Structure 1
Amino acid sequence: MEGLSYLVGANLYELDPDLKALLARYDPGFPERESLYRAFGERMGKEVLEVLYHIDQDAPPVLVMHDLDGRRVDRARLSPAQRSLLSSLRPLNRFAYEGQGWVPHFALGYLLADGGVYCILTITHQVAYALHKYAPEHREVKEALLYGEAFGATWMTEIQGGSDLGANRTLAIPEGEVWRLYGGDKYFASGAGLADYALVTARPEGAPAGARGLALFLLPRLNRKGELNFRVRRLKHKLGTRAVPSGEVELEGSEAYLIGKAEEGIYYTLENLTVSRLANAVAAMGIAQKGLLEALFRVKRRESFGRRLLDHPLVRRDLVDLRVRQAGGLALAFHAVAAFDRAWEERPPYSPRYHLARFLSHLAKNRTAEHAKESTALAMELFGGLGFLEEYGVARWHREALITPIWEGPSNIQALDLLEAMEKKGAHLFYLEELSALLQGHREPEAALALETAEKTLDFLKLEKEAVWYAKEALRRLADALAVAVLLNLGEGYEPLARLYAHRFLRGEEYPAWAGGLWET
């Protein structure tokens, strides 16, 4: 891959001052753990990026439907390089269960930030999470997912409903010690053909309609007779995230095990979505950071009209946009991670602390995805025609960024969930308390602007009869106000970035010319 990406051989941790600042704030074990982050950043540049490039360009998963004896196996064949990489990355999923919190997991996921490989790790993690909290009787499965070679998956959506989980048709009927699942086509099933165990939503016979009637089940790949428990119809041909096999799964009499209480299934499902939404947020900013670094290396090396691209004012303006989006988006993501870290052990019914964490996950997931999409497109543009060529790294980062607004619920879903959290849980009140606490003692104009923006946005939503129409813009405004507040708390060096973020995204004005000085070098 040398010559195809400027990141080859680079230490991605050492090139990331924002990550260092946020870990110093949010990871209590940062002084002892920094060597781990540094080593992982070095490994990314020296080894992992090349493997990820190989998988994406030359060796995506392939579905093998039958073995030599004609038996249906429905297995995704991975390249040896991908299998070896995944095996070496399994420790990323263990931190929370070994008493080290969630920040290290998401920090390393951010440095990895490959939509396919990190997705495989995340969906495996999600199954372990559900079993850890709500199905201790499946401890051996959890251990196999965390410490063995088993993979997990989360299959919730169906073809007729997509993000509308209440439209799910999969029916669950009890049969002795197991349940049988009928009539379900899990249509966008990441991990299809790879997962040994999957979390699936299904409606117990006689349960009410809608999302509230769904229960959560553990679906093993093999039934008690050792036979294939479900069928993979096909793998999908995707624009990005090629490392994770995504397919269509047919459930017809499949054996499954109820997780926790059937009537609480939707709560477990939403908890699981919170985990993956946070993963989506850090991955989005990790992808954006790779695009920023590619662009920065490029403009320092490339000459045009007699001088480096970096020395052109308009190029500096574009770099400022990349830098400001990166700092604000990453600050938002890790503040949401920290909130979840404080609340993750809670169970239904939840406290205000958990409702705040869920509220922040909507803000972070949505805004980081928007930033990643815009940033990687701009990074491609700074490369000119080379940015549009598939053999070079920067084009891939934009492809990978495009899934982040869609995964785990697009912006419309995030906005609707935000309104629901406000109306039913009063989560916006906890958000305002959090924002006010962050801004306490700050006299900068941006601090007052952030608080005023949040208060006016929430007041407007409460008074407006057509609140749904404005919910997406409110989602952005609340996220941007929080991003400014977190930046102001990262120390004196981040005050200019907080000013610029507020100027651009709260006031809606162009960056001032003095911002070009951020790139004096």
Structure 2
Amino acid sequence: MPASTHTVTNQAPPLVDYDVFSSDRALAEGVARHVAPERAEEARAQLSALGVTAGSARAQEWGTQANEMPPVLRTHDRYGNRVDEVDFHPAWHQLLTEAVGAGLTDPWSRPDGQLRRTAGFYVWSQVEAGHGCPVSMTHAAVPALRKEPALAAEWEPLLSSHTYEPGLDKAPAHKAGALAGMGMTEKQGGSDVRANTTVAVPLAAEGEYALTGHKWFCSAPMSDAFLVLAQAPEGLTCFLLPRVLPDGSRNAFRVQRLKDKLGNRSNASSEVEFDGATWVRRVGEEGRGVATIIEMVAATRLDCVTGSAALMRQAVAQATHHAAHRSAFGGELIDKPLMRNVLADLALESEAATALALRLAAAYDGAAAGGEDSEHERQLLRLAVPVAKYWVTKRCTPHVAEALECLGGNGYVEESGMPRLLRESPLNSIWEGSGNVQALDVLRALQREPQALNAFLSEIGQARGADHRLDGAIKSVLAELADLDGIEARARRLVERLALVLQGSLLVRYAPSAVADAFCASRLGGDWGSAFGTLPHTLDLASIVERARPGTD
């Protein structure tokens, strides 16, 4: 065929070799807002360096390879010995090397650590989301382990190390770094962990037990250690389960199979069994397993918010980039009024999610720092984390689907990367408690911890008087809170409204006026349809889209 028929025109160039951090103005401004001024330049430089790596063609290829060549379970070696190992493509190890090296498992060693770690997790998750699971669980395991000082002294240096050392051929004490996972859910219970049947029998040595039972979902089974829940004599208890014992031999940890999942394909999610010889050490008091592990759950819930915000940001980046380089019907797509409305609406949702994730991360730092504001921050987190986890993760899937549609048929093709984003998008809504679990947790906090609601109202009240639509929405929420009739059945609606007023308050205080005005007009003022792209046409949509484009000044 004549070569002229294969001339490629009117196709967007790849979005590659750009700074994922610096080109995201909502993210960069949010970090500058929350980090201490004397450390702002250092934080910006470190995150920009990670952003350049994240935007590189090399890193993007790692993400593609890790998903196209997923992990493989090897239960036995060639001689018939049980090994229970999972083999990963080298790209997976490259992704984890960069993540651990950038301190994404370590918010403890520097001031503003959680904020900077969250921003880095947001940046690096846009390369590939699956490896974020062990990164998240490793950083979140530390607060739980601190309930048992001897275990924390042994494991915290490994879990917060900036060196990634895979493999199960060494005792933990001889490794330069370690990863942690967790095993909570079982076949018969799911989110109802008190229905767990795995049994822990005390051994002769204090704090040591043997497990018999199973876990229905155990992500990243190649990790060095796991926090698991099991029934001890005094009730449900938390334990640390190492894959390799102190003498270098393997613990009894039987990987039965890997899950065949909708998305998150690079990550090995597994079913595991314990055969009565599985050696564990107690973390916290017997019978206090949920209370012990709850801080790990709260930290991973923040990463669910951050991970969903990252997916939305990457979806917006791809959609706006495509529209800026694609012409149709006599002009660039980005200049078409209807497409601009869609892109602006997507950008609003993304920026609101980003602002909320960063505010939660700053609250973690504030709660840990002590001082007069620490209790306010701690109480704010108690309510705001499940509120944000519910809403941001719920919004992710329709958001990514709409962004994919902006690319038309190109977006439906695997090579665009958009199908991978779409397959990933429902995960964070399910992981660490589905939507109903989060809504019920919000009700529990409202009923048992009134100080958490006071902190939440104080936070959103900082924008009082700045926008009449926000003021009206807050008044409406207060009316809903005063009416307890049928509260459980309408919990989702209440949590949605709490999330929107919190996001609205943050944007009114910190975002450009065009962004705040559009958010309040649509999400709080009622002038918004059921699909993206139904913003009032009188808003400054062009500046919202331009702000969201990657690589624009």
TM-score w.r.t. structure 2 length? 0.86
1:94 aligns with 2:118: no
Residue 481 of structure 2 corresponds to which residue in structure 1? 458
Q: Within 2, Cα distance between the matches of 1:156 and 1:387?
A: 37
Q: Which moved more, 1:309-318 or 1:408-417?
A: 309-318
Q: Which moved more, 1:393-402 or 1:336-345?
A: 336-345
1:85 aligns with 2:110: no
Residue 6 of structure 1 corresponds to which residue in structure 2? 14
CA RMSD, aligned part only?
Answer: 2.2
1:296 aligns with 2:320: yes
- Residue 423 of structure 1 deviates from its aligned partner by 0.9
Q: Within 2, Cα distance between the matches of 1:223 and 1:61?
A: 24
1:499 aligns with 2:517: yes
Contact 2:71/2:266 (8 A) holds in 1: yes
- Residue 5 of structure 1 deviates from its aligned partner by 7.9
Find the partner of 2:361 among 318, 337, 347: 337
Q: Within 2, Cα distance between the matches of 1:4 and 1:344?
A: 46
- Residue 341 of structure 1 deviates from its aligned partner by 2.2
Q: Within 1, Cα distance between the matches of 2:443 and 2:152?
A: 35
- Residue 19 of structure 1 deviates from its aligned partner by 0.4
Residue 218 of structure 2 corresponds to which residue in structure 1? 189
- Residue 164 of structure 1 deviates from its aligned partner by 1.2
User: Which amino acid in 1 is paired with 2:525?
Assistant: R
Contact 1:218/1:258 (8 A) holds in 2: yes
Contact 1:450/1:482 (8 A) holds in 2: no
Find the partner of 1:371 among 395, 406, 421: 395
Q: 1:5 to 1:160 in 2, by over 3 A?
A: farther
Contact 1:278/1:361 (8 A) holds in 2: yes
Query: Superposition pairs for residues 376-395 of structure 1, below 5 Å?
Result: 376-395=400-419
Q: Within 1, Cα distance between the matches of 2:190 and 2:392?
A: 22
- Residue 223 of structure 1 deviates from its aligned partner by 4.0
Contact 1:453/1:478 (8 A) holds in 2: no
Q: Deviations over 1:279-327 (max 9, x none)?
A: 1101101111111011011111112222222222211111111111011
Q: Within 2, Cα distance between the matches of 1:166 and 1:8?
A: 47
Q: Deviations over 1:435-488 (max 9, x none)?
A: 22x225x4322342343233223223xx32x10011011111001001011111
Richer in helix (by share): 1
Contact 1:331/1:486 (8 A) holds in 2: yes
Residue 484 of structure 1 corresponds to which residue in structure 2? 504
Contact 1:355/1:421 (8 A) holds in 2: no
Contact 1:5/1:394 (8 A) holds in 2: no
Query: Superposition pairs for residues 74-223 of structure 1, below 5 Å?
Result: 74-90=84-100, 91-113=103-125, 114-147=128-161, 148-177=176-205, 178-192=207-221, 194-207=222-235, 214-223=236-245
- Residue 345 of structure 1 deviates from its aligned partner by 7.7
Query: Superposition pairs for residues 56-67 of structure 1, below 5 Å?
Result: 56-57=67-68, 59-67=69-77
Contact 2:63/2:91 (8 A) holds in 1: no
Residue 210 of structure 1 corresponds to which residue in structure 2? none
User: Which amino acid in 1 is paired with 2:117?
Assistant: H
Q: 1:170 to 1:359 in 2, by over 3 A?
A: same
Contact 2:263/2:424 (8 A) holds in 1: yes
User: Which amino acid in 2 is paired with 1:486?
Assistant: L
User: Which amino acid in 2 is paired with 1:6?
Assistant: P
- Residue 6 of structure 1 deviates from its aligned partner by 3.1
Does the residue aligned with 2:284 lie in a helix, a strand or coil? coil
- Residue 85 of structure 1 deviates from its aligned partner by 2.7
Q: 1:269 to 1:504 in 2, by over 3 A?
A: same
Residue 65 of structure 2 corresponds to which residue in structure 1? 54
Q: Deviations over 1:147-182 (max 9, x none)?
A: 233221011111111111121111222112254344
Find the partner of 1:467 among 487, 503, 510: 487
Residue 37 of structure 1 corresponds to which residue in structure 2? 47
User: Which amino acid in 2 is paired with 1:175?
Assistant: L
Does the residue aligned with 2:155 lie in a helix, a strand or coil? helix
Does the residue aligned with 1:75 lie in a helix, a strand or coil? strand
- Residue 107 of structure 1 deviates from its aligned partner by 0.4
Residue 459 of structure 2 corresponds to which residue in structure 1? 434
Q: Within 2, Cα distance between the matches of 1:355 and 1:5?
A: 47
Residue 283 of structure 1 corresponds to which residue in structure 2? 307
Q: 1:250 to 1:471 in 2, by over 3 A?
A: same
Find the partner of 2:337 among 283, 290, 313: 313
TM-score w.r.t. structure 1 length? 0.91
User: Which amino acid in 2 is paired with 1:106?
Assistant: T
User: Which amino acid in 2 is paired with 1:453?
Assistant: S
1:228 aligns with 2:228: no
Q: Deviations over 1:378-402 (max 9, x none)?
A: 0111111121122221221111112
Identity %: 30
Q: Deviations over 1:323-375 (max 9, x none)?
A: 110111111222222222222589xxx96643321211111112111222121
Does the residue aligned with 1:95 lie in a helix, a strand or coil? coil
Residue 518 of structure 1 corresponds to which residue in structure 2? 543
